Amino acid sequence: MNTSRDSHGLVQWHGTTIIGVKKGGKTVIAGDGQVSMGNTVMKPNARKVRRLGDGSVIAGFAGATADAFTLFERLEKKLEQHRGQLMRAAVELAKDWRTDKYLRNLEALMIVADKDVLLILTGNGDVLEPEEGIAAIGSGGNYALSAAKALTDYEDDPEKIARRAMAVAAEVCVFTNDRVTVETI
């Protein structure tokens, strides 16, 4: 996974696209399947979106795969400790992620959701709830985010919005493909 920093000093991930769309009582997280090493596609069908815990939480990641799996495991433990309360578990994970010497070095971003909230989690300790119910991360994230925002006034189904936004990202981002995994809550 390639990284760079944006004008605010935040790490920007190059190598995947993950989008979350919350609309009409339904939340969808979708992600592409491409794993790149430099300019080479190493795997076209990776699964970067999955259900966590008892299946009541869905999550997608951008970043180093082993790091993301570590974070998924930690989030599942936090969900168990806080009886499935995603917001509380996410805040506790973000605290650990920012302060723990080992976790602090993990290079990944996550979008997580349950029936109530859609969140972006970062290693800077951020737990961000997008204002309009649309969140995107990864190299194609801004393309997918823009497409989803444009579609939301014309489409009521969040899965259709997410799939079309992913298709747009795959058309313009060389680190994103059209092999999409979708999970819905």
Catalytic residue, from 3, 16, 99, 152: name it.
16
Burial class for 178, CB neighbours closer than 10 Å (0-12, 13-18, 19+): middle
Contact 92, 75 (CB under 8 A): no
Torsion angle of the four alpha carbons 169, 18, 33, 59, in this order, in degrees rounded to the nearest 10:
-160
Tokens 């009409």, located at residue = 24
Can 16 be counted among the known catalytic residues?
yes
What is the phi-psi region of residue 106: left when phi exceeds 0, alpha when psi lies from -120 to 50, beta otherwise?
beta
Residues annotated as part of the active site:
16
